[in-house]
Amino acid sequence: MHSAASQPARPLPTTTTPPPPVMKLARPVEDLAPPPWVDDLPLAQFTLVSARVADVPDLTPAQFEQQTFAAYVSIAEQLAATAHRHPVRFWNHVPFITDPADAGRDNYMVFNAGRFRAFSDWYGGPARFEREIATASATGHWGRDLIVHCLATDASGTAVNNPRQVAPYHYSQRFGPLPPCFARATRLASSDLLLVGGTASVRGEDSVHIDDLAAQCRETYVNLAALVSAAIGKKLTPSVKLPRLLSAFRDLRVYYPDRRHEREIEQSVRQSFPNLGRLEKLHADLCRAELLVEIEGIADLSELKDK
């Protein structure tokens, strides 16, 4: 490789590699850790587990795909040993994410193939993705290892998709022979919390506002608002005030590939999210080279009640 859920999820096939020990909401000691809001979750209701594929640049694409599959097997096995078997949020950190891997595929597409195969087994087939699959982010970094973190709980969340976008698992083959596999957001069971995965300037399945950072930020905010609106069962219309929907967000993590954009992005975000508490900024490559910003976070839908 170029280096530069209404029912419990079915366990994946066993792997010969022993899984690493379960981490009970212990933040991994590394830069590529889940965001700080994970620390606020009650220990009795959530489990955080992780998997790693070492030295990805030394693997062939076929090996990387298989090892990605095995990483998700390991996560399923770890969760099977806990009371929290329902994934609600994944963070994927893919080395050199947009570097070419083989004919027609980059490293992200290879990763997606392994993840898609794993989730097809885990959820019993793609037909269940629409209602059960967990939300996720996938960003690039310049280290050597694939790192996957999974937050799980004891009850299946509800997958929330964005009516302005094609569900990732329905993408055309322009984005790889096997598509990305995640929900745009997950609403926790019996809760007003909405976990929102990596969100960017994508409409339908196409990147929009190429080379225009301000417009990409605005498009991303509309997509975040659309997820909140979908989660509370309302249609996003021009009459709906964007700040009202964005007021539900209390914690955000922003990824950006160009360090020169950090200040502009931070100013824009702080001006657009009236109830924002924590803002975490990470310099990272994104899954499409033309994207300039990606935002994830957690929203409290109770903020919208009686308003």
The full length of the chain comes to 307
b/e burial code for range 114-126 (CB count within 10 A of at least 16 → b): bbbbbbbbbbeee
Residue 220 has a pLDDT of: 98
Angle at 111 between CA 33 and CA 198, to 5 degrees: 50
HSE (side-chain half, CA atoms, 13 Å) at 259: 0
Which residue range(s) make up the domain with 75?
36-302
| Within-domain flag for 18 | no
Please report which confidence band the pLDDT of residue 43 belongs to, taking 50, 70 and 90 as the band edges: confident
9 within a domain of the structure (yes/no):
no
Residue 192 lies in a domain: yes
What tens digit of pLDDT does each residue of 56-78 get?
Answer: 999 999 999 999 999 999 999 99
Choose between 90 and 240: higher pLDDT.
90
pTM of the model: 0.89
Residue-level pLDDT at 244: 92
In tens, the pLDDT along 166-184 reads 999 999 999 999 999 999 9
The mean predicted confidence, pLDDT, of the chain is 89
Q: How many structural domains are present in the chain?
A: 1
Inside any domain, residue 295: yes
CATH of the domain at 93: 3.30.1330.40
